[in-house]
């Protein structure tokens, strides 16, 4: 799927704290919201898998920001790739940066996280009264968010491959700890990277539906007493 001509990607420099990070921002003419991508270990803003999902979100009238969470120097230290606190801090900084851009002012924001990036997205989303309104995890490690999981009150969708058995178990356990509206989707036959025919298309479809439902809704879905919690396994 290719963005429409008026949805051309724009190279940007994302400022997070005192660090400048390369990114790609794509905005439809009148976006419903903007989704920030938090990639996993060994990936980058150029990830083919994330770009496929990003293209689907743009086609669904959502802006996307793909950016590198670490500098080239930081990436050489493998410990940084699994430093969820560091990654979540970078993601929060990028969230403030995108919210301050005139073209994005007032837009609803969401996170799409993969692998360790999913944990970073959940930790970043756990901030009380934060800017983010929905989270989607693809083949993620939400368990690495640990004690932050009950603090996540925004609607959260966990997508896991049906053949990714160890990660299914980790996601089921994390699901039980999450606060607020939540859903678990298992894509039949998909492995961890969703490389099987149609697997990434399924991820993109579920993500677009989730963000379309919750971004900009401005409703009380924050998981206060009486908040709705859902579970839906596709097998």
pLDDT digits (tens, 9 = 90+) for 13-56: 999 999 999 999 999 989 999 999 998 665 567 678 888 999 99
Phi-psi region of 130 (alpha: psi -120 to 50; beta: other; left: phi over 0): beta
Looking at the domain assignment, is residue 56 inside a domain?
yes
Residue 132 lies in a domain: yes
Q: Classify residue 163: in a domain, yes or no.
A: yes
CA distance 144 to 153: 17
Confidence check: pLDDT of 213 > 80: yes
The average pLDDT across 203-208 equals 97
Is residue 233 assigned to a domain?
no
**Residue bearing the bigger pLDDT, 123 or 217:** 123
Count of domains observed in the chain: 1
pTM over 0.85: yes
Dist CA 209 CA 112 (whole Å): 13
Mean pLDDT of the chain: 87
Q: What pLDDT was estimated at residue 95?
A: 97
pLDDT on residue 42: 59
Query: Containing domain of residue 132, as a range?
Result: 5-214
For the chain, how long is the longest CA-to-CA vector? Answer: 46
Within-domain flag for 223: no
Whole-number pLDDT of residue 44:
67
Lowest mean pLDDT, pick from 7-16, 84-93, 213-222: 213-222
What is the pLDDT at residue 22? 94
Is pLDDT of 166 > 80?
yes
**Chain Cα centroid distance, residue 213:** 15
Residue 230 has pLDDT above 50, yes or no: no
pLDDT confidence of residue 76 = 82
CATH of the domain at 149: 3.40.50.1820
Q: What is the structure's pLDDT at 8?
A: 72
Whether 232 is in a domain gets the answer: no
> Is residue 220, in this structure, part of any structural domain at all?
no
Is 26 a member of any domain? yes
């Amino acid at each position: 799927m290719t963005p429409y001509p008026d949805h051309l990607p724009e190279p940007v420099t994302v400022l997070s704290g005192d660090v400048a990070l390369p990114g790609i921002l794509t905005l439809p003419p009148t976006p419903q919201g903007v989704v920030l991508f938090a990639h996993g270990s060994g990936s980058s803003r150029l990830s083919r898998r994330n770009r496929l999902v990003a293209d689907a979100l743009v086609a669904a009238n959502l802006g996307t920001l793909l950016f590198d969470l670490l500098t080239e120097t930081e990436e050489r230290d493998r410990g940084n790739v699994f430093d969820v606190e560091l990654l979540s801090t970078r993601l929060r900084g990028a969230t403030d940066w995108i919210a301050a851009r005139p073209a994005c002012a007032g837009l609803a924001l969401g996170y799409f996280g993969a692998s360790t990036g999913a944990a970073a997205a959940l930790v970043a989303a756990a901030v009380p009264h934060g800017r983010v309104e929905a989270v989607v995890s693809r083949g993620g490690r939400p368990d690495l968010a640990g004690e932050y999981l009950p603090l996540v009150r925004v609607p959260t969708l966990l997508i896991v491959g049906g053949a990714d058995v160890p990660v299914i178990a980790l996601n089921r356990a994390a699901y039980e700890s999450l606060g607020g509206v939540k859903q678990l989707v298992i894509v039949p036959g998909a492995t961890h990277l969703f490389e099987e025919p149609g697997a990434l298309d399924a991820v993109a479809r579920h993500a677009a539906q989730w963000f379309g439902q919750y971004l900009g809704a401005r409703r009380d879905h924050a998981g206060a007493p009486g908040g709705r919690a859902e579970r839906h396994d596709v097998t």
